[in-house]
Amino acid sequence: EAQVTQNPRYLITVTGKKLTVTCSQNMNHEYMSWYRQDPGLGLRQIYYSMNVEVTDKGDVPEGYKVSRKEKRNFPLILESPSPNQTSLYFCASSLGSRGGEETQYFGPGTRLLVL
Amino acid sequence: GQSLEQPSEVTAVEGAIVQINCTYQTSGFYGLSWYQQHDGGAPTFLSYNALDGLEETGRFSSFLSRSDSYGYLLLQELQMKDSASYFCAVANQAGTALIFGKGTTLSVSS
């Protein structure tokens, strides 16, 4: 089954404790991205990757890191989480970007609470 | 930069027709996308319009007017399962990332 998976689905942590949210897709997609979703603010892009070893900042990259060492994986790293990073996070992938023409497939989401 | 405006909430009854509008401001335009998200779930793709006009997919249709920087999603024969949030989205100037509107919450009642 073609899918995007994220782990963990739910996470409660404390301020300053490094964490990684994994994202993996099995569709051989080149393009992957991370979004956060907050009430009233919609989906905001954190980082995206056009291909292996190619990443770039989205609209809200502060406090996050990413890496793309393999085509299928695109982990999101919070080096020192803070309470304002409490949010619902989605990973997404698509064949390419092409101005939005390519359908983005979203993972199930990760709910993060930073105390 | 890119910005999108859509109503925050829309309510309707089963069987009715509802239109969700989206206006956008962009520096460079490729097309307008629509995504649906049920409460607590992942967004799923509905449609993409690059050219002016109406595109129909079953009960859902999407319209684009590039000259007016405007589009809408039309949902016909509404069902309870259509209760969800609907997001319009455009690409950034480089075409490398999607910018989403804040979403419209549709509530369908019986």
* pLDDT tens figures, A68-99: 999 999 999 999 999 999 999 999 999 987 77
Per-residue tens of pLDDT for chain B, all 110 residues: 789 999 999 999 999 999 999 999 988 899 999 999 999 899 999 999 999 999 998 999 999 999 999 999 999 999 999 999 999 999 988 888 899 999 999 999 99
Query: What dihedral do alpha carbons A39, A42, A43, A45 form, nearest 10°?
Result: -100
Contact check, Cβ <8 Å, B90/A100: yes
The residue in chain A having the minimum alpha-carbon distance to the alpha carbon of residue B51 is A101
Q: Give chain A's residues under pLDDT 50.
A: none
List the single residue in A50, A58, A109 with the smallest CB-CB distance to B42: A109
- CB pair distance less than 8 Å for B33 and A43: no
Partner-chain residue, chosen from B45, B95, B102, that has the shortest CB–CB distance to A104: B45
> In 3D, which of A29, A92, A27, A97 has the Cα closest to residue B31?
A97
Written as one string, the DSSP assignment of A5-16 is: EEE-SEEEE-TT
